[in-house]
Amino acid sequence: MVVVAGSAVVVSQASAQQTLDLKKWYVLVNRNSGKVLDDRGFATNDGAAVVQWARHGGANQQWRFFDAGDGYYRLQNRNSGKVLDDLGWSKTTGSAIVQWKDLNGTNQQFKLAKSPDGYVRLINRFSGMAVEVHNAARADGGDVVQNRDRGGADQQWQLVPAGSVGTQPSSAPSPAAGGGSSTTRFMGSSTVLIGGSMTDASAAAAPFDVRYAYVHSQPAPSSAYYSASLCQAAWSSWWGCWNGSTTAPGTYVTWRDTVAAHATYKGSPRPQKMLWTWYSLRDLGDAAGQGDGPGEVKAINRLDLLTRYMNDYRFFLQKIGTSHDAIDLEPDFWGYVRSLGDPHRVAAQVSAANPTDCGSQENSAAGLSRCLMSMARKYAPNTAVGLHLTCWDWQTNTQGCVKDYATLGAQNADFLVTDVSDRDAGWYAQPAHGGRDTFWTDQKAAAALKFYKTMAESVGKPVVLWQIPVGNMAQNNTLNHYKDDKVDWFFAHMDQVANAHVAGLLFGPGQQEQTTAESDGGNLIRKTIGYHNSGGTALK
């Protein structure tokens, strides 16, 4: 029997004793493995595999229930819009469960049969079989199939409401039972992270959590670069050989990861995380002959250039490997895409440039963003993926930004990342630099934090503030000693920062003339020490 009240359906008798909210998205956790039901690789095509995977909070792991009548439901995937489907109307044990466009067939309808401790079994209306993880596998990628209903733990699923803000990054353990998506941890921390761009000496002078660095060059001209045992002097402009001709290609990433992992504070080990700002489409625009903005948009629709870019990005991810890093994907670029209108209509040669990883993705900027995120899941599975938030019109068009980032698939990321300002306020105040007033007031800060909060809640993911100016009001507005008030403001208002769902504050110069952690008189270091001595500020 089902009792319908508004959007809530009370399922009873032979089914699970549970109230489903038909407006909510759920994560389905397998009792045997602790993994969750997953649209593999964020696929959007009919017939794409459904598997189990470690929970990372992505939209491809969220499902909504539609009432199909008589106690049966269709399960729609949030990423693809497809529904769970008994492939080919099969009644064979072990046959595949996939996703398919919603035809409301009985092979797409499931009842929730009661199991112990609040778990359910999904029984297909056409075949009468239960949805299970094949061979009771516990590994990521285990196939989801149908089999005779025997009530095993591999056939039992817990329906966990997806959290409203924040996710467990892919490095976090999958919950075996209980609770929703975590809103209280990000990159292994329950407090707002502090970090930035600085020398090793500065990074060891305070209990910093995160270091960040750019990957910013044109992609390698050929695949020979990736397989070479050593770099060549002529390759020094490519990021993979920035460490010189005596090192292997990609050492820049593995070296920085090692330095962060072996960081110390006061002589004791205190490992840090790396955040990589992947900023290569800017250079691809140069290769297209039109530079920043227009060149980038032109380059993604050139098969030769986008193929090189995809190969380079894959190599970068492979160098990260199993490290617990974070990636900031393409500052500014998504803003240029937004300026052209619907990201679905901005052409990109995605499937042809990378048929191996993204052959099923849409050939658009929206498909490109999804491709980059899904590649990170595949090649750097412990790494949190951040889509850079570039909304130059945020003060007048926040809802347009919300819409565009939903189109770009930001709900599939682990976080959003954005910059407060790329220069110190004292630098911008100089007549030679425009005479602009970018100092903060409480009103300016409140407006910015309101925007971050809106974006975080719109996609259900926290925000990281990156490249925050390091200047302070004790400086004298000379080279590398410019005034700014943002370091002091943030550390004095950490509760407001957390309330806006900001999970990290990363400080650093956006240009070579700006104040740095080495030239600010020790202000950032002192503030960071004081923050951590206070116990930090809990994420919200």
Task: Give the bridge partners for 375, in sequence order.
Answer: none
How do strand 26-30 and strand 97-100 relate by DSSP bridges? unpaired
Report residue 79 as tokens.
């990423």
Report residue 68 as tokens.
């199909």
Report residue 257 as tokens.
């990861």
| Of 73, 97, 105, 76, the residue nearest 146 (C-alpha) | 97
Buried b / exposed e over 217-253, threshold 16 CB at 10 Å, is bbbbeeeebbeeeebeeebeebbbbbbeeebebbbbb
Q: What is the mean pLDDT of the chain?
A: 91
Asked if domains 2-161 and 193-533 share a fold, the reply is no
The answer to whether 339 touches 333, Cβ cutoff 8 Å, is no
Fold of the 2-161 domain: Trefoil (Acidic Fibroblast Growth Factor, subunit A) (2.80.10)
**Percent of the chain predicted with pLDDT > 70:** 93
Range in 201-215, 243-257, 452-466 with the lowest mean pLDDT: 452-466
The residue extents of the domains of the chain are 2-161, 193-533
At residue 327, what is the residue type?
Answer: I
Instruction: Place 6 in a pLDDT band, splitting at 50, 70 and 90.
Output: very low
| Contact partners, residue 478, CB within 8 Å, separation at least 6 | none
| pLDDT tens for each residue of 77-93 | 998 999 999 999 999 99
Instruction: Place 18 in a pLDDT band, splitting at 50, 70 and 90.
Output: low
Rounded Cα distance, 144 and 137, in Å: 10
Overall average pLDDT of the 315-333 stretch: 97
The answer to whether 259 touches 200, Cβ cutoff 8 Å, is yes
Task: Please determine, for residue 4, whether its predicted confidence score (pLDDT) is greater than 80.
Answer: no
Task: Please determine, for residue 365, whether its predicted confidence score (pLDDT) is greater than 60.
Answer: yes
| Of 72, 138, 65, 127, the residue nearest 97 (C-alpha) | 127
Overall average pLDDT of the 331-338 stretch: 96
Overall average pLDDT of the 46-71 stretch: 90
The pLDDT score that the predictor gives to residue 459 is 87
Task: Please determine, for residue 31, whether its predicted confidence score (pLDDT) is greater than 50.
Answer: yes
| pLDDT tens for each residue of 33-42 | 999 999 988 8
Report residue 88 as tokens.
């080919």
| Of 187, 154, 149, 131, the residue nearest 35 (C-alpha) | 154
Report residue 235 as tokens.
């390759």
The pLDDT score that the predictor gives to residue 59 is 86
Range in 103-117, 165-179, 271-285, 297-311 with the lowest mean pLDDT: 165-179
Task: Please determine, for residue 181, whether its predicted confidence score (pLDDT) is greater than 50.
Answer: no
Range in 15-24, 273-282, 288-297 with the lowest mean pLDDT: 15-24
Instruction: Place 122 in a pLDDT band, splitting at 50, 70 and 90.
Output: very high
Rounded Cα distance, 497 and 537, in Å: 9
Instruction: Place 345 in a pLDDT band, splitting at 50, 70 and 90.
Output: very high
Overall average pLDDT of the 446-457 stretch: 95
| pLDDT tens for each residue of 415-430 | 999 999 999 999 999 9
Task: Please determine, for residue 5, whether its predicted confidence score (pLDDT) is greater than 50.
Answer: no
CATH code: domain 193-533 is 3.20.20.80
This prediction has a pTM of: 0.70
Nearest 5°: CA angle at 261, between 511 and 55? 95
Rounded Cα distance, 383 and 376, in Å: 7
Task: Please determine, for residue 536, whether its predicted confidence score (pLDDT) is greater than 50.
Answer: yes
Buried b / exposed e over 358-389, threshold 16 CB at 10 Å, is bebbbbbbbbbbbbbbbbbbebbbbbbbbbbb
The pLDDT score that the predictor gives to residue 166 is 37
The answer to whether 16 touches 157, Cβ cutoff 8 Å, is no
Overall average pLDDT of the 214-220 stretch: 97
* Secondary structure in 3-state letters for 406-424: HHCCHHHCCEEEEECCCCC
DSSP assignments along 155-185, one per residue: G-EEEEEPPSS----TTSPPPSSS--S-SS-
Backbone angles phi, psi at 512, to 5 degrees: -70, -15
